Amino acid sequence: MELSRTTHGNGLLIASVFLLFNLSVASSPPQEKGLPYMTSHVKEVSGKYFDYIVVGGGTAGCSLAATLSERFSVLLVERGGSPYGNPLVMDKKYYGLALIQTDEYKSVAQSFISKDGIMNHRGRVLGGSSAINLGFYSRASQSFIEKVGLDNELVREAYEWVESRIVFKPELTMWQIVVEFGLLEAGILPYNGFSLEHIEGTKVGATVFDEFGTRHTSADLLKAGNPENITVLLNATVKNVIFHNENRNETRAYGIKFIKSNGYTDQAHEAYINQNNDSSSWGDVILSAGALGSPQILLLSGIGPHEHLRNFSIPLVLDLKGVGGAMKDNPGMALLVDNKPQNRLPDTPQVAGIADDFNIIVEAGIAPVSLNATRMRVSAKVAFPESQGKLELNGTDPRRNPSVQFNYLAKEKDLQECVKMSKLLERVAGSHSIATFVRKENKNNLTSSEEELRKSCKKNVRTFYHYHGGCTVGSVVDKDYRVYGVQGLRVVDGSTFLESPGTNPMATLLMLGRYQGIRIQKEREDS
């Protein structure tokens, strides 16, 4: 990729891409070869029965649905549309533009502002955040796998299943080579070359962009399933889970209620779990709607803190205090290293610096700031923040973003880590390699004072888009990801995480869907 190439009229071209795609959004989604049947017609699914219902066709949901379909019928419900045929998702040269223009109901990225006042995004398309993110792929650390109690051999097999289908070794752009040298100059050692593992030092990670610049989202993993067993319902938003009280001591999920994403909330449809005489062998409703979506659906279904549900007149199914709790987002900081916006091609991170005993992650990219201009920035995140907040409903319309507060840097330890991270960022951004490349004066000797950095952290903290929590293991779900207190309901996504794994969570979420799918299959065999 030629980094500084400028195309005359590029802004007009990109604007035309936006217009043409938005005008061409149809009720029948583009069908990619090898994928299961996809439809946006809710009546095709209304009233039907399936062995499993997966809510959310995102990073974990697609790999989970593909795995379950090897033996069972699966309904996969996604509130957004298909990524196929959408250049803003599929083409690397348009990376980041999907985050610039968002709307309330249709855009592939849905923006939200936390109560902290910080802009953020969530995926609203088949493939979820794997369709709008940086595409950087790196496994979780061994300590994370041990902490969450996963089987090492099955984890390895699940990672490899994903990697053989949608993961690639990148060919470094000139900017990424420069960043690589900048990280090493700043003392982020040793140099580890290309690696899938989460190891301290400077490394080249994998990517979901292939050699032609085409993105491969989690939706591609549906091709690995049994297409005869999967129905994908697009542009449909789940209102709530339907429960059945078998007896006074047991409440069981047996279906979902859903609406058209651009329809009316009172025009709802239902789909159900197949039922036989032995309820112990029934399948599950599985929430994979993400760190905002899954706790929101639980709350709308009557599972959560009783007092909060009462504020919205939602009938109580289970008073489960942890729903919406332990919400965390990794505090990030970024430094612009170019002098002004220019018309460079976007460039996604391919190199990462993992420093300070895994506590700081540094990456760099070129991201659009408008339809015809980009900026070069070096960014970093605090990997293990202690500060946490909570998620609450913002109304009963499932299409509206819930209210969420992360309480960035509320804990002194996080603020101290941010100061340390900022000093490292200054060293990287001010390195001879980067300064020479962008033809900017080397300011490596003009470091800010401790107090200036503390103020800067509080003022300029931003998201790294790795928020998690809301349905955490041990609080809302057990070690098998079953929701406490009800039968037939699980959560499998980043809302279950107590920390964001690796350099970023995408690889581990892709693995987790496959992992839990295999585990669920084995449970059914044993029963």
Please identify every residue annotated as catalytic: 466
Q: Which residues contact 177 (CB under 8 A, 6 or more apart)?
A: none
d(CA 261, CA 313): 23
Quick one: CA dihedral 18, 19, 22, 25, positive or negative?
negative
> Residue 253 has which token pair?
């999920």
Rg (CA), the chain: 23
Secondary structure of residue 418 in the 3-state scheme = helix
β-partners of residue 245 are 251
Q: Please state whether 485 falls in left (phi above 0), alpha (psi between -120 and 50) or beta.
A: left
For residue 130, give the amino acid letter: S
> Residue 71 has which token pair?
């033996």
CB 80 within 8 A of CB 200: no
In SS3 terms, 346-413 reads as: CECCCEEEEECCCCEEEEEEEEEEECCEEEEEEEEEECCCCCCEEEECCCCCCCCCCEEECCCCCCHH
- Between helices 412-429 and 174-185, what is the axis angle to 10°? 120
User: Strand 390-392 to strand 403-405: parallel, antiparallel, or no bridges (unpaired)?
Assistant: antiparallel
DSSP 278-331: -GGG---EEE-SHHHHHHHHHHHTTEE-HHHHHTTTPPPSEE-TTTT-SBB--E
Q: 423 exposed, middle or buried (CB, 10 Å; 0-12, 13-18, 19+)?
A: middle
Q: How far, CA to CA in Å, does 170 sit from each of 57, 135, 184, 209, 217? A: 26, 11, 19, 8, 16
Phi, psi torsion values for 205, nearest 5 degrees: -95, 175
The Cβ of residue 390 has, within 10 Å, a number of other Cβ atoms equal to 21
Q: 75 exposed, middle or buried (CB, 10 Å; 0-12, 13-18, 19+)?
A: buried
The Cβ of residue 4 has, within 10 Å, a number of other Cβ atoms equal to 10
